[in-house]
Amino acid sequence: MLLLKLTILIVLFIWLLAMIIAYSYGRVGRRMQSQQKLVPVTKTLPPLSVVIIAHNQAKALRRHLPAILQQDYDRFEVIVVNTGSTDDTKDVLERFEFQYANLHHTFTPHSARDISLERLALTLGIRAANYEWVVMTRPDCEPASAQWLTRIGETIVEPSRSIQSPSLSTPDIVIGQARFAESRHAWSSRKVAFLRLWNDMHAFEHILLGHTAIRADGCNLAYRKSYFLERNGFSEHQSLEMGAEELLVNYNATRSNTALVLAPSATVFQDPLTDERVWLNRRIYDRETRHHQRHTWLFRARQNLRLAMPWLIIIAVALCIALPFLAQTLQSYLPKELAELPFTADATLYTLAAIVLALLIIVYIVTKTSNFNATARALGYSPFHLTFLLYELRLPFWNLSDAIARRRASRNEFRKKFV
């Protein structure tokens, strides 16, 4: 009986902790639902400069640039920085400039040193911007609606609309959501969509809890130009090849200067990845980027606990199943005087404990799955249903694989190649 009671206490503690985590999966979705009845903004919206970095992406520009140039917004410009493209990117931009007066393009010099091309291009684009607020996106991205810039402008002038902080008064950073468009490659696209949703959900929730933003998506990010110049732009880690926008937010965001805009009409769709190897390579670069992040101990602790919790539940269930056999084995090996101590319980108690455990597991699975899928729907994803549990169980192994690949890669692979 003593062994049974001890096991029950351990299992109950793990279950209660798991239920708290399971309920937190729906925090972003619940907060978004509470913000659906906001009245329209009556203030004058600020002019915006959209900055796009392009490298050999002429096809993507042909397909997506018109949707950005045709935004339903009073004053905005689009600046495309060409980073040494060898395809017809320049021709595409020049043709579009004849059609749209608010489109401008520039290029990065080939002799650039001491800074990655991505950071140099963003710096040139931001400095070339005529307006105070700069919106960053990418050539393979397209806004979900013509109101994309409107939602960003509304959040700038009335940051109280932001879902995380009604008291926010003057933001310097506005973080939006981006996700992959639907793909015909069902299994790989769903896995990639899950991984992006998982990262976004935890990053958004971290902000909702009142903490400093850890990361942001370069496909949908607004930044105050004067704040960029005041903070010396990309002075930190300027030689890193990737992660410019993410580290820019990580190093300059505070609890009181960052707003979230997660309205469906403010979402940006990115072209799906047709080659899973590209996604794996991107995850390795993301791993290197996050190695340079600051103030992440609490964020990582909570994320690691979430990753470990499904496996702790499985271990607890396995322990309960093995408990009768373990108790019987112990009793057979103990001396007679110790074997008579209350270590074991009869079959009825074990059966009752097994039924209660099964009910607790069902409650846990239903709570976690429903909360996760509710957040997924709120962010515009198709629900994952129970397949979410399979993806979640595999996440620690995917992360371990990424960490090993990053360790095995040369440090020079993640930095600008100097000449």
In a domain, 282, yes or no: no
Model confidence band, residue 270 (pLDDT cutoffs 50, 70, 90): very high
By CB atoms closer than 10 A (0-12, 13-18, 19+), residue 175 is buried
The Cα–Cα gap between 93 and 39 comes to 38
Residue 159: its pLDDT value, please?
82
Q: Which of 40-49, 321-330, 346-355, 383-392 has the highest mean pLDDT?
A: 383-392
pLDDT digit string, tens, across residues 18-53: 999 999 999 999 988 876 565 677 788 999 999 999
Mean pLDDT of 165-187: 79
In a domain, 171, yes or no: yes
Residue 328: its pLDDT value, please?
62
Mean pLDDT of 362-369: 94
Q: Are residues 221 and 85 in the same domain?
A: yes
Residue with tokens 């008291």: 167
Q: Are residues 15 and 100 in the same domain?
A: no
Three-class SS of residue 9? Answer: helix
Backbone angles phi, psi at 63, to 5 degrees: -80, -35
Residue with tokens 């509304």: 154
Residue 184: its pLDDT value, please?
60
Evaluate the CA torsion angle 291, 296, 297, 298 in order and state its sign.
negative
CB 249 within 8 A of CB 291: no
Residue 137: its pLDDT value, please?
96
pLDDT at 73 over 90: yes
Alpha helices, DSSP H, located in 80-144: 89-99, 117-128
pLDDT at 322 over 60: yes
The length of the chain in residues reads 419
pLDDT at 295 over 60: yes
Starting at the edge strand found earlier in the chain, the sheet holding 103-107 runs: 103-107, 76-82, 48-54, 133-137, 221-224, 173-176, 258-261
- Say which residue, 330 or 311, is predicted with more confidence: 311
Share of the chain above pLDDT 70, in %: 86
In a domain, 401, yes or no: no
pLDDT at 330 over 60: no
pLDDT at 104 over 90: yes
- Say which residue, 347 or 265, is predicted with more confidence: 265
Residue with tokens 């039924």: 355
- Nearest Cα to Cα of residue 79 among 127, 14, 140, 12: 127
Q: Are residues 165 and 56 in the same domain?
A: yes
Model confidence band, residue 1 (pLDDT cutoffs 50, 70, 90): low
Residue 166: its pLDDT value, please?
61
Residue 376: its pLDDT value, please?
94
Model confidence band, residue 343 (pLDDT cutoffs 50, 70, 90): very low
Look up the domain containing 318 and give its range.
2-25+300-385
Quote the Cα angle for 131-135-139, to 5°: 125
The Cα–Cα gap between 284 and 38 comes to 40
Domain boundary among 275, 291, 317: 275
In a domain, 199, yes or no: yes
In a domain, 284, yes or no: no
Residue 335: its pLDDT value, please?
58
Mean pLDDT of 346-361: 76
In a domain, 157, yes or no: yes
Q: Are residues 263 and 116 in the same domain?
A: yes
Q: Are residues 265 and 185 in the same domain?
A: yes
Q: Are residues 14 and 87 in the same domain?
A: no
**Minimum mean pLDDT range among 175-184, 243-252, 398-407:** 175-184
Q: Are residues 102 and 139 in the same domain?
A: yes
CB under 8 Å to 235, separation ≥6 — which residues? none
Number of domains in the chain: 2
Backbone angles phi, psi at 260, to 5 degrees: -105, 135
pLDDT digit string, tens, across residues 131-162: 999 999 999 999 999 999 999 999 999 887 77
Q: Are residues 20 and 84 in the same domain?
A: no
Residue 419: its pLDDT value, please?
35
Q: Are residues 114 and 204 in the same domain?
A: yes
DSSP string, 148-159: HHHHHHHHHH-G
**CATH number for the domain including 123?**
3.90.550.10
CB 80 within 8 A of CB 54: yes
The Cα–Cα gap between 356 and 110 comes to 68
Q: Are residues 230 and 342 in the same domain?
A: no
pLDDT digit string, tens, across residues 204-257: 999 998 899 999 999 999 999 999 999 988 877 777 778 889 999 999 998 889
Share of the chain above pLDDT 90, in %: 51
Q: What is the mean pLDDT of the chain?
A: 85
pLDDT at 418 over 50: no
- Nearest Cα to Cα of residue 171 among 229, 256, 246: 256
In a domain, 67, yes or no: yes
- Say which residue, 241 or 387, is predicted with more confidence: 387
Model confidence band, residue 2 (pLDDT cutoffs 50, 70, 90): low
In a domain, 115, yes or no: yes
DSSP string, 177-240: -EEEPP-S-HHHHHHHHHHHHHHHHHHHHHHHTTPPP----TTSEEEEHHHHHHTTTT-TTTTB
Residue 406: its pLDDT value, please?
87
Q: Are residues 210 and 173 in the same domain?
A: yes
CB under 8 Å to 195, separation ≥6 — which residues? 283, 391, 395, 398
Q: Are residues 56 and 203 in the same domain?
A: yes
pLDDT digit string, tens, across residues 87-96: 899 999 999 9
Mean pLDDT of 78-85: 92
Residue 216: its pLDDT value, please?
92
Residue 341: its pLDDT value, please?
47
- Nearest Cα to Cα of residue 268 among 374, 386, 148, 372: 148
Report which DSSP code applies to 55: S
pLDDT at 11 over 90: no
- Say which residue, 349 or 47, is predicted with more confidence: 47
Is the pTM for the entire model greater than 0.75?
A: yes
